[in-house]
Amino acid sequence: MKIGIIGCGNMGGGMVAQLAGAGMDVSCFDPDMDTRARMQTNGATVFDNVQDMVAGQLVIILSLPKAQIVEAVMVEIAARIETGAIVLDTSTSTPATSQAMAALGQKHGFDFVDGPVSGGPAAANSGTMTMLLAGQPSAIDRLRPVTDVLTAKTVMVGASGAGHAAKIANNMLCAANLVLVAEAVRMCEAAGVAPDGLLEGVNAGSGRSGVSEVNFPKWVLNGAFDSGFTMGLMRKDVGLALELAQQTGVNLDGFAGIADVWLNQSTQIDDSADFNEITRHGAET
């Protein structure tokens, strides 16, 4: 199958390697020169022009930093996409952008499917991501040979935009749990309880979460802070949750303080740092 990938960073680069390794004919485009060189060694044909790259592709995967870049790239390539092709957007974007891109696809004769992912670069590099799919069911069915290579689990969430809404909710919960588990660990440490024992107890109880089961042992307690997901990307996702709540008229009273920690109180942690560094916020006070 002929596949084009646009955006070959931490996540897209892993997808390139997986699909090429599965014998697919993979082409890619990324503006970053170092990334292009890495993709060549990953077995992809590297283009220096995104419009030339998309011509003739049956499936085009996007793994881009944010919704505004998804829209800009789509406007650039829409007229060059083959009739009947499918664009799978694995970026963490917005429901409104996905719906607008699906409408653009209808105009130009291609399908646009939301497919935001979880699992980080390790899962992208091993074909074990979770993907939240939304859009036309017939297009999602036709993507099966690709999603089978890239994922350990897919969830059909609903119509266009639903995948990105669900992904924003997922990351909102992850952002909240990072702040809350860090506070629980500090509270218990101050009360004389070691983090390992506390987390073993929490993970056997109703307070457990992906953060207590995965992030703390894998990236926080051992000081590794090397998940491959940045503070900047999580701050973007916290902002997307606030934006979606505002657009839908939903009150996020509980989340407001957590969002303030990510966006305003932790500015000493750079956007380029690992997102698990947020657990250090508050330790110094």
| Positions in the binding site for ligand NAD (CB under 6 A) | 6-12, 29-32, 35, 63-65, 69, 73, 91-92, 117-118, 120-121, 228-229, 233
Among candidate residues 66, 167, 218, 236, the one labeled active-site is 167
Give the H or E element holding residue 157: strand 151-158
Classify 31 as helix, strand or coil.
coil
Sign of CA dihedral 161, 166, 172, 178: negative
Token digits for 249? 């008229």
Taking CB atoms, the residue at the shortest distance from ligand NAD is 9
The candidate with the shortest Cα–Cα distance to 74, out of 121, 38, 110, 31, is 110
Token digits for 37? 């060189």
Which of residues 21 and 31 has its CB atom nearest to ligand NAD in the complex?
31
Cα 50 → chain centroid: 22
Complete DSSP assignment for 185-221: HHHHHHTT--HHHHHHHHHTSTT--HIIIIIIIIIIT
- Please check whether residue 228 is in contact with residue 124, taking contact to mean a CB–CB distance below 8 angstroms: no
Active site residue 167: yes
User: From the CB of 6, what's the least distance to ligand NAD, in Å?
Assistant: 5
Residue with tokens 């007229």: 79
User: From the CB of 110, what's the least distance to ligand NAD, in Å?
Assistant: 18
The candidate with the shortest Cα–Cα distance to 130, out of 161, 90, 101, 159, is 90
Which of residues 10 and 266 has its CB atom nearest to ligand NAD in the complex?
10
Which of residues 65 and 282 has its CB atom nearest to ligand NAD in the complex?
65
Which of residues 115 and 135 has its CB atom nearest to ligand NAD in the complex?
115
Which of residues 7 and 163 has its CB atom nearest to ligand NAD in the complex?
7
**What is the rounded CA–CA span in Å between residue 114 and residue 91?**
8
User: From the CB of 211, what's the least distance to ligand NAD, in Å?
Assistant: 14
Residue numbers annotated as active site: 167
